[in-house]
A and B are shown apart, each in its own frame.
Chain A
Amino acid sequence: MNPSAVIYLLTAAAVFGIGLYGLLQSRQILRQLLSINLMGGGIFLLLITLGGGADGRPDPVPQAMVLTGIVIAVSATAFALALLLRWHELSGSTELDADAIADAIADAVADAHDD
Chain B
Amino acid sequence: MTTEALVGLIFLPLLGACATVLPGRLATRAGVLAGLLPLPWLLVVVTLAVVQDPALFVELGGFAAPLGIRLFADPLAVLMLWMVAIIGGLAAVHAWFDFPPDSPAGQSFWPLWLLLTSAMNALFLSADLFNLYVCLELVTLTAIPLIALAGSKTSVRAAMRYLLLALLASLLYLLGIALLYNATGTLDLYLIRTALTAAPPAAVVTALALISLGLLLKGAVFPLHVWLPQAHASAPGPVSAVLSALVVKTAIYLLYRLWLWSVPAGTLAAEHALMLMALLGAGALLYGGVLALLQERLKLVIAYSTVAQLGYLLLILPMAATAAWPVAWQGGLYQLLSHGLAKAAMFLAAANILHALGSDRLSHLRRLDQRQPLSLFTLAVAGVSLMGLPPSGGFLAKWLLLEAAWRSGQWWLLAVLIAGSLLAAAYIFRILAASLGRDDPTEAQPVAASRSIPVIQDAAALLLALLALGTGFAAAPILQFIEAGAPAAWSTP
Which residues of chain A come closer than 8 Å to B447, judged between CB atoms?
115
Contacting pair A79 B156 (CB below 8 A): no
Interface centre among B153, B359, B446 (most CB of A within 10 A): B153
Taken together as a complex, chains A and B put the C-alpha atoms of A103 and B234 apart, in Å, by 14
Give the residue name and chain of the A residue nearest to B187 (CB): A61
Taken together as a complex, chains A and B put the C-alpha atoms of A72 and B154 apart, in Å, by 27
**Cβ-based interface call for B175 (8 A):** yes
Give the residue name and chain of the A residue nearest to B147 (CB): A83
Contacting pair B171 A50 (CB below 8 A): no
Give the residue name and chain of the A residue nearest to B66 (CB): A61
Cβ contact of B153, chosen from A72, A91, A108, A112, cutoff 8 A: A91
Contacting pair A29 B154 (CB below 8 A): no
Which residues of chain A come closer than 8 Å to B364, judged between CB atoms?
115
Which residues of chain A come closer than 8 Å to B164, judged between CB atoms?
23, 29, 32-33, 36, 80, 96
**Cβ-based interface call for A54 (8 A):** no
Which residues of chain B come closer than 8 Å to A75, judged between CB atoms?
137, 141
Interface size on A, as a range, is: 35 or more
Closest CB in chain A relative to B94 CB, distance in Å: 22
Give the residue name and chain of the A residue nearest to B154 (CB): A107
Contacting pair A40 B171 (CB below 8 A): yes
Give the residue name and chain of the A residue nearest to B359 (CB): A115
Known: A50-B182, A61-B181. A103 touches B154 (CB 8 A): yes
Cβ contact of A96, chosen from B144, B160, B178, B179, cutoff 8 A: B160
**Cβ-based interface call for B174 (8 A):** yes
Known: A76-B167, A114-B358. A91 touches B157 (CB 8 A): yes
Taken together as a complex, chains A and B put the C-alpha atoms of A42 and B469 apart, in Å, by 49
**Cβ-based interface call for A70 (8 A):** no
Contacting pair B148 A86 (CB below 8 A): yes
Taken together as a complex, chains A and B put the C-alpha atoms of A90 and B164 apart, in Å, by 18
**Cβ-based interface call for B159 (8 A):** yes
Give the residue name and chain of the A residue nearest to B358 (CB): A114
**Cβ-based interface call for A43 (8 A):** yes
Which residues of chain A come closer than 8 Å to B140, judged between CB atoms?
76
Taken together as a complex, chains A and B put the C-alpha atoms of A96 and B231 apart, in Å, by 14
**Cβ-based interface call for B430 (8 A):** no
Contacting pair B171 A43 (CB below 8 A): yes
Which residues of chain B come closer than 8 Å to A91, judged between CB atoms?
153, 156-157
Taken together as a complex, chains A and B put the C-alpha atoms of A50 and B207 apart, in Å, by 15
**Cβ-based interface call for A84 (8 A):** yes
Contacting pair B359 A111 (CB below 8 A): yes
Which residues of chain A come closer than 8 Å to B174, judged between CB atoms?
40, 43, 69
Which residues of chain A come closer than 8 Å to B167, judged between CB atoms?
36, 76, 80
Contacting pair A114 B359 (CB below 8 A): yes
Interface centre among A29, A43, A103 (most CB of B within 10 A): A43
Cβ contact of B137, chosen from A47, A61, A72, A87, cutoff 8 A: A72
Which residues of chain A come closer than 8 Å to B377, judged between CB atoms?
none
Taken together as a complex, chains A and B put the C-alpha atoms of A103 and B157 apart, in Å, by 10
**Cβ-based interface call for B256 (8 A):** no
Cβ contact of B134, chosen from A62, A72, A83, cutoff 8 A: A72
**Cβ-based interface call for A14 (8 A):** no
Give the residue name and chain of the A residue nearest to B361 (CB): A111
Which residues of chain A come closer than 8 Å to B175, judged between CB atoms?
16, 43, 46
**Cβ-based interface call for B37 (8 A):** no
Contacting pair A112 B148 (CB below 8 A): no
Give the residue name and chain of the A residue nearest to B138 (CB): A72
Which residues of chain A come closer than 8 Å to B160, judged between CB atoms?
29, 80, 83-84, 87, 96
A56-78 to B contact mask, C-beta < 8 Å, 1/0: 00000110010011001001100
Interface centre among B140, B156, B171 (most CB of A within 10 A): B171
Contacting pair A65 B141 (CB below 8 A): no
Give the residue name and chain of the A residue nearest to B186 (CB): A61
Contacting pair B141 A79 (CB below 8 A): yes
**Cβ-based interface call for B356 (8 A):** no
Interface centre among B152, B157, B179 (most CB of A within 10 A): B157
Taken together as a complex, chains A and B put the C-alpha atoms of A103 and B152 apart, in Å, by 11
**Cβ-based interface call for B367 (8 A):** no
Cβ contact of B161, chosen from A79, A96, A111, A114, cutoff 8 A: A96
**Cβ-based interface call for B163 (8 A):** yes
**Cβ-based interface call for A7 (8 A):** no
Give the residue name and chain of the A residue nearest to B155 (CB): A90
Taken together as a complex, chains A and B put the C-alpha atoms of A20 and B74 apart, in Å, by 37
Contacting pair B358 A115 (CB below 8 A): yes
Which residues of chain A come closer than 8 Å to B134, judged between CB atoms?
68, 72
Which residues of chain B come closer than 8 Å to A23, judged between CB atoms?
164, 168
**Cβ-based interface call for A101 (8 A):** no
Interface centre among B163, B167, B179 (most CB of A within 10 A): B167
Taken together as a complex, chains A and B put the C-alpha atoms of A61 and B66 apart, in Å, by 11
Which residues of chain A come closer than 8 Å to B446, judged between CB atoms?
115
Taken together as a complex, chains A and B put the C-alpha atoms of A72 and B84 apart, in Å, by 24
Closest CB in chain B relative to A62 CB, distance in Å: 7
Interface residues of A in 84-115 (CB under 8 A from B): 84, 86-87, 90-91, 96, 100, 103-104, 107-108, 111-112, 114-115
6 A-B Cβ contacts within 8 A?
A: A40-B174, A46-B178, A72-B137, A80-B160, A107-B153, A115-B446
Chain B residues packing against A (C-beta within 8 Å): 130, 134, 137, 140-141, 144-145, 148, 152-154, 156-157, 159-161, 163-164, 167-168, 171, 174-175, 178-179, 181-182, 187, 296, 357-359, 361, 364, 446-447
Known: A40-B171, A68-B134. 12 other contacts (CB 8 A): A36-B171, A46-B178, A46-B179, A47-B181, A68-B130, A75-B141, A76-B140, A79-B141, A87-B160, A91-B153, A111-B359, A115-B446
